[in-house]
Structure 1
Amino acid sequence: MDCPYRRELEVALRVIEQAARLSQTVLPDTDKGAVEKEDNLGPVTIGDFAIQALLTSSLHAAFPGDMFVGEEDASALRADAVLCDRVWTTLCQTVDASSSTGCVLPTSSSDMCEAIDRCKNAPGPGRVWVFDPIDGTKTFLRREMYAINVALVVDGQQTLSVVACPLLSPDDGGKNVESYLSNGSVDPTGRGSLYFAVKGYGAHVRPLFEGKGLGIAIGATPRRLSPAVASQPFRPVTCFRLQESALDDIHRGIAERLGVVFPGNDLLGWVPRWVLLATGHANTTVWVYRQRGRHAKIWDHAGAMLLFEETGGVVTDVDGRPIDLLAGRTLSKNFGFVAAPTPESHALVLQAVHDVLRAKGRLDLLEGN
């Protein structure tokens, strides 16, 4: 792709390919070294730690003046020498750090922990790389759908997106798909998919692997994702009965108001959900949290949203506001999400959200009430 961020894109693509291969090496393990995070927001595995270290070390070497934001921190590794050694061994044994890949490994397990902790920043102005090393860790533990998310945000604006979905077929998409995807949907060919976008230059997809093995499909020709079609029926993607923060009854009521199947596509990870929206397998999503004080995390959305927006999709919060990526690690200036393929369809979905919240007596979730 010939664009102002060509070097950034090339480096990010090569590194995320190696990160995806690492994840697939860990995926079959019964014991993935999972530990619960101190904030009780889910597990973290040796895959999460190793991939964040790889992404940070490699992109810091290429762009030393940039800032980094990532989901994980190294406190659990510093407290558990055995776990730390497992992560370090995984990195050293699975990543091709030759000059052709652009990957740079930490120099030691201690340096690895420092690389992971380099991502503890809050986003600010300037160039900020945002990582979710494994989005959908709970499903990753079950060998189900997950994604690796890399984004470059410049002065609060999504500029570049690279997403690997090792279990999602690059052929899943299009405007006439009849099936719905779930966490257990796995690409039978083993190719997986790699998505990328630069703001103003469209979104693209290509196979991630050559096939059943872990050989990377480096020479595969990308396909540009088609623009969203305003007249097509709504095809939802959501997460049903798997997240305590969700209001499943509200989400069902909105689907009924719009006259669409519920839940439709049903995925835990937010990054795969944005991918389905970009490919056309889905074209709308709504997320209303149980409380106004609950907010999303930047690494679940930055960059991945750009894939959908580059097909013409519109993304706001439940109040109709643009997503503010300068608010911090938590998107504290926004409440929930509403996404649809065009401005006109977005207005319809947003109105349905407000109507259902009022009908169900949840005025506390509407701004100004």
Structure 2
Amino acid sequence: MDSPYRRELEVAIAAAQTASRISREVLLAFGRPGNGDAAAAAAAAAAAAAASAGPLDVVKDDLSPVTVADFAIQAFLVRTLGRAFPEDGFVGEESSGELRSHAGLAARVLEVLARCAGEALFRDAQDVCDAIDLCVARREPGAAGGRVWVFDPIDGTKTFLRGEQYAVNVALLQGGRQVLSVVACPLLSPDASAATPVRDGDVDPTGRGCLLYAVRGHGAFVRPLVGSPDEAQARRLPRHADSVASPADLRAVTCWTRLDSGVDVVHKAVAEQLQVPFPGSDLLGWVLRWVVLAMGVANMTVWVYKRRDRYAKVWDHAGAMLLFEEVGGKITDVHGKDIDLTAGRTLKDNFGFVAAPPSLHRVVLDALHSELKAQGKHELLR
């Protein structure tokens, strides 16, 4: 791809590939390879048990699991992109508090980084923790005119722990605007298409995985994750959202009955009103939902939080949304407002999401509003 962000794209793609190797190393070590290689998984699990340095996961204050891979990938991305672009800022999901208080976990993180990224990258566990904390100590996403990299080291941590679908999200914002996206999906087939909805348990049997990338105004692309960075492997994704004109052609992606934060009954009612098969693609991680929207497996999603004071996190959406926009998709919140990525780590100026082909976005939005009113949830429209 020829663009003003060519070097950033090259560095980010290489970093995402290494981040994926880190994630797969952790999965394999704990017997959860996600690719059917039971013999290799069993051998690796036995070795890991014999030399265990700490637990696979701990629990954060918000009760979501944190894994060796989360910490290792965030530290690796900060160090790699920071060396390439030293003036840029960073925002990421993790902070090092749990890592600093679990010596065994810190040792495991350092070990996997040494195996996958080289022993010279980090001096010790303290160095790893310091890198991770650059994501909470430096520039916010909305810094005026500034460049900020936003990371979600493992999107879909719960499914990751089961050896199911997950993603590594890398985004570059400039002045709070998405300009570059790189998303690695180690267990998703690059051949996923509208013919078959994607679910969390659908793992690429070839073990290739896929990588998607986009630069604003230059289109979105998909390629196998494994292999040479030669761009000849990449396939430009068509602007499929531009050609959808009838509600009969809508295909949904959601997370059905597995997240307590969403109003499931409304999500289903909107699909029924529009006569859209439901749930369609069913994925826990938000980044993966944006990915299947970009790939044309789906072209519509609606998400309403149960409480008006519940907001999305920037790392679950920044960059990944650009993939859908570059294939013609339109994204707003429940009120029809554009998504404001300058609001900070929490997208507090927006509530929920509505994404659809531009010609049908108002139809989907109106269906959502009518269902919220019909079910007496007027407070969610305020």
Q: TM-score range by the shorter chain?
A: over 0.9
Residue 245 of structure 2 corresponds to residue 231 of structure 1: yes
Residue 290 of structure 2 corresponds to residue 274 of structure 1: yes
Give 1:142's aligned residue: 162
Measure, in 2, the Cα distance between the counterparts of 1:120 and 1:294: 21
Give 1:38's aligned residue: 61
Structure 1 residue runs of 5 or longer lacking an equivalent are: 98-103, 210-215
Measure, in 1, the Cα distance between the counterparts of 2:196 and 2:221: 22
TM-score calculated relative to the size of structure 1: 0.92
Q: Which amino acid aligns with 1:190?
A: G
Measure, in 2, the Cα distance between the counterparts of 1:218 and 1:197: 15
8 A contact 1:207–1:217 mirrored in 2 = no
- Residues 43 and 280 from structure 1, CA distance in 2 versus in 1: closer, same or farther, beyond 3 angstroms? same
Residue 207 of structure 2 corresponds to residue 185 of structure 1: no
1:285 to 296, 301, 305: 301
Residue 104 of structure 2 corresponds to residue 123 of structure 1: no
Moved more, 219-228 or 143-152: 219-228
Measure, in 1, the Cα distance between the counterparts of 2:195 and 2:222: 20
Q: Which amino acid aligns with 1:153?
A: L
Counterpart mapping for 1:157-306 below 5 A: 157-173=177-193, 177-209=194-226, 216-219=227-230, 221-228=233-240, 229-231=243-245, 233-306=249-322
Indicate the SS of the match to 1:312. Answer: coil
Measure, in 2, the Cα distance between the counterparts of 1:89 and 1:120: 24
Deviations 1:42-97 (A, max 9, x none): 10100000000000000011111111000001111110111100000010012258
Counterpart mapping for 1:92-131 below 5 A: 92-95=114-117, 105-121=121-137, 122-125=140-143, 126-131=146-151
Residue 90 of structure 2 corresponds to residue 50 of structure 1: no
Give 1:361's aligned residue: 376
Residue identity (%)? 56
Measure, in 2, the Cα distance between the counterparts of 1:106 and 1:311: 39
Q: Which amino acid aligns with 1:203?
A: A
2:153 to 101, 117, 133: 133
8 A contact 2:141–2:175 mirrored in 1 = no
Give 2:40's aligned residue: none
Higher helix share: 2
Residue 132 of structure 2 corresponds to residue 86 of structure 1: no
Measure, in 2, the Cα distance between the counterparts of 1:91 and 1:318: 41
RMSD between aligned alpha carbons?
1.3
Deviations 1:208-227 (A, max 9, x none): 11xxxxxx343352110011
Runs of 4+ in 1 over 3 A off after TM superposition: none
Q: Which amino acid aligns with 1:178?
A: A
Give 2:36's aligned residue: none
Give 1:213's aligned residue: none
8 A contact 1:53–1:115 mirrored in 2 = yes
8 A contact 1:53–1:106 mirrored in 2 = no
8 A contact 1:318–1:337 mirrored in 2 = yes
Indicate the SS of the match to 1:47. Answer: helix
2:332 to 316, 324, 328: 316
Indicate the SS of the match to 2:233. Answer: coil
Give 2:367's aligned residue: 352
Measure, in 2, the Cα distance between the counterparts of 1:217 and 1:248: 42
Indicate the SS of the match to 2:154. Answer: strand
Measure, in 1, the Cα distance between the counterparts of 2:152 and 2:320: 10
Q: Which amino acid aligns with 1:124?
A: G
Give 2:8's aligned residue: 8
Moved more, 219-228 or 256-265: 219-228
Measure, in 1, the Cα distance between the counterparts of 2:257 and 2:299: 21
Measure, in 1, the Cα distance between the counterparts of 2:346 and 2:122: 28
8 A contact 1:239–1:266 mirrored in 2 = yes
Structure 2 residue runs of 5 or longer lacking an equivalent are: 32-48, 50-54
Measure, in 2, the Cα distance between the counterparts of 1:35 and 1:65: 33
Deviations 1:330-354 (A, max 9, x none): 0000000000022x21111001110
TM-score calculated relative to the size of structure 2: 0.89
Measure, in 2, the Cα distance between the counterparts of 1:16 and 1:96: 15
Measure, in 2, the Cα distance between the counterparts of 1:264 and 1:73: 35
